[in-house]
Amino acid sequence: MILQRFCCAWAVFLLLAAAPARAADGDAALLAAYDAFQDGNLTKLEKQAEAIRGHPLEAYYDFWHLALRIEVADAPEVHRFLSRYAGSRVADDLRARWLKELGKRRDWSRFDVELAPLVLDKLEVRCYAWASRLAQGDRSVLDAAHKLWLEPIKLPEGCDRLMEDIAALGALSEDLAWQRARVQMEERRRSEAGRALEYVPEKSRPSTATLRLVAKKPERVLDRLLKKKKALAHRADRELAVLAMIRLAGIDPKRAAEMLEGRLSDSVSAADRQYLWGRIALESARRHEPEALAWYERAGRDALTYEEREWKVRAALRAEHWVSLRDAIDEMPIEAHRDPAWTYWYGRALAELGRPRGARAHYLRIAGEPNFYGLLATEELGDYATLPKETHKPSDEDLAEAARNPGLRRALELYRLDLRKEGRLEWVYTIRAMNDRELLAAAELARRADIPDRAINTADRTQQRHDFELRYLAPYRDVFSAYAKEQDLDEYWLLGLVRQESRFIADAKSWAGARGLMQLMPRTARWTARKIGMKKFRMSDMTDVETNITLGTSYLKMVLDRLGHPVLASAGYNAGPGRARRWRDTKPLEGAIYVETIPFDETRDYVKQVMVNAVFYALLDGKRTSLKERLGVMASKVQDESEDKDLP
């Protein structure tokens, strides 16, 4: 593991040339200490102490050492660390860990003093802060805590302990417990639903086995409940039926609708009926089923969640029912009207309904913004996307200031040792409050150090001064150009896809296991290698630029040939070709509508950004292109889709 990290090639530029020479044994000791920290092995960590003293990342050793001992640490030791490394990412992280420990100890007087200097908002620390206020009799935190309880997330330990405190005060009702169980079942988190129901009286609480059956075979549970002599006469049975209906809607919304219209119609309350119609409509809209809009009408307007309202808009969009689309956006909260997506589609609805002046007013609100809907709005106004008139390049003084920044220097050291996660956290913490001038200097620093992901992401944050050459870097451009020609791929689209996949990091590895510049999964890489006759392929070859681009462009070309359009191929590259094909409609569908109605949030945002990237890469080559033309029209579905089955 340690030796593997030394494979990262490093381009040290003049501004950092004066940095002191690093001893190889110090680097090795630091990496060994990092591994010990990850393993929670304090003894192994301490063996590296002497070799690390004086290393540019000594702060990290001290942080790891104290973090592993935080449960037995005392205030003076913590304060010495915080004072020595004041203003650094590790100091803020250590402070957060110390606050969590103080929260566990219920040392509220010390907790309140230590909380104020914390920079980053940590949910678990926030929960302990509410617990501190609650312990002092401040019940005003209950509203915020109840809202958190109903969020569709798994709560960390500190938040669980806050809820225990609230329950001890009698302020976590059975109603709230059942509500959280519903929210967690919506997210397919059966175990979290079970944890929420620990706050329900034991006689009313379903067993773990019953909840397991709800998650796997909800209709069987409903059958059992409805066969009881007094079907759904008790609240526990009614609540269990609702949980089962939530799961059934997720599995088969049409069957859930049949149940709600038939056997369950008189057995649940009017409020629960509306709630369940909202869930059925949402799941149906995600599946692009034509009944979705009708089921939304049965859900009413007032009880819908924000997510359900978004998918009501998308259901109307998919049907190209412009009156329903306009009305659905009107029903959304006021903050949603600032979202470029709904601003654009509201304008489109007005245009389709014969109100061009209203449409123009909406387009003008977002035109010129360098995002998917900003570009589309610009084109609706008869213009095309352009690059900023002025490009800001950092001065020598700006670069020298960036090179002296302690946080950026630490981040560069971490990247040098291929501690990418730590380097990214250090970098993001350091640039969090930078102005445009400082951001562009930091981005250029990253570019010269051959860290394209930091260069791109940092340049992407500017508000007034911009450098789109940094935002849209294209490392290995000659290699991509050659393979784009060989595979007959649009080079700008290819670059846009790789920018989104890996930010041009050759040895990138995702949490799911995708590797390299074009982020191929191992199975896909092996399959493609066999298909193109690549001999003696090994997964370790995926960090080789030529190998990765060879396999990635070959696979992308196969996906494009099967699906027939870059939008479909982009969706297929991210979520699988079969899904991308199934997401088409029974009629030809405008590309922008197809993209907005992709059921997966990640894939929807991915495709939008890939297509925008392609526009800007073309612009940087002096070629103005239309996003709307790139999006085109998706062909209608065909019955036989068996040709997808051999594509991974």
pLDDT attached to residue 410: 97
pLDDT in tens, 247-289: 999 999 999 999 999 989 888 999 999 999 999 999 999 999 9
The confidence band for 645, taking pLDDT boundaries of 50, 70 and 90, is: low
Residue 78: half-sphere exposure toward Cβ, Cα within 13 Å: 22
Q: Is residue 144 part of a domain?
A: no
The confidence band for 473, taking pLDDT boundaries of 50, 70 and 90, is: very high
Q: Is residue 225 part of a domain?
A: yes
Structural tokens at position 299: 């859900």
Q: Is residue 460 part of a domain?
A: no
Q: Is residue 603 part of a domain?
A: yes
Per-residue pLDDT, averaged over 519-531, amounts to 96
Describe the chain by its helix, strand, coil percentages, rounded to 5. 65, 0, 30
Shortest CA distance to 141 belongs to which of 117, 118, 120, 172? 172
Per-residue pLDDT, averaged over 227-231, amounts to 85
The confidence band for 300, taking pLDDT boundaries of 50, 70 and 90, is: confident
d(C-alpha 589, C-alpha 569), whole Å: 15
d(C-alpha 465, C-alpha 436), whole Å: 6
Contact 549, 479 (CB under 8 A): yes
d(C-alpha 115, C-alpha 103), whole Å: 11
**pTM assigned to the model:** 0.93
pLDDT in tens, 60-97: 999 999 999 999 999 999 999 999 999 999 999 999 99
Per-residue pLDDT at 222 exceeds 80: yes
The confidence band for 303, taking pLDDT boundaries of 50, 70 and 90, is: confident
Amino acid letter, residue 345: W
CA angle 589, 592, 597 (to 5 degrees): 80
Which residue range is the domain that position 288 belongs to?
Answer: 187-296
Contact 70, 104 (CB under 8 A): no
What do you get for the CA distance between the two ends of the chain, in Å? 30
Domain finish residue from 274, 296, 318:
296
Q: For 409, phi and psi rounded to 5 degrees?
A: -65, -40
pLDDT attached to residue 479: 97
Task: Return the CATH number at 509.
Answer: 1.10.530.10
Q: Is residue 626 part of a domain?
A: yes
pLDDT attached to residue 15: 40
d(C-alpha 139, C-alpha 146), whole Å: 12
Per-residue pLDDT at 2 exceeds 90: no
Contact 250, 287 (CB under 8 A): no
Structural tokens at position 598: 């992709």
Structural tokens at position 252: 């088969």
The confidence band for 488, taking pLDDT boundaries of 50, 70 and 90, is: very high
Q: Is residue 303 part of a domain?
A: no
What mean pLDDT is reported for the chain? Answer: 94
Q: For 228, phi and psi rounded to 5 degrees?
A: -65, 155
Q: Is residue 595 part of a domain?
A: yes
Burial class (CB in 10 A: 0-12, 13-18, 19+), 626: middle
d(C-alpha 210, C-alpha 218), whole Å: 10
Residue whose token pair is 């997720």: 250
**CA distances (Å), 262 to each of 160, 225, 290, 465, in order?**
39, 14, 20, 61
d(C-alpha 287, C-alpha 598), whole Å: 9
Per-residue pLDDT at 404 exceeds 70: yes
Q: Is residue 405 part of a domain?
A: no
Contact 339, 347 (CB under 8 A): no
Q: For 590, phi and psi rounded to 5 degrees?
A: -55, 140
pLDDT attached to residue 231: 82
Per-residue pLDDT, averaged over 548-573, amounts to 97
Structural tokens at position 69: 């001992």
Domain finish residue from 276, 296, 316:
296
Q: Which residues are catalytic?
A: 501
Contact 454, 410 (CB under 8 A): no
pLDDT attached to residue 12: 38
CA angle 559, 561, 563 (to 5 degrees): 65
d(C-alpha 466, C-alpha 468), whole Å: 6
Q: Domain total for the chain?
A: 2
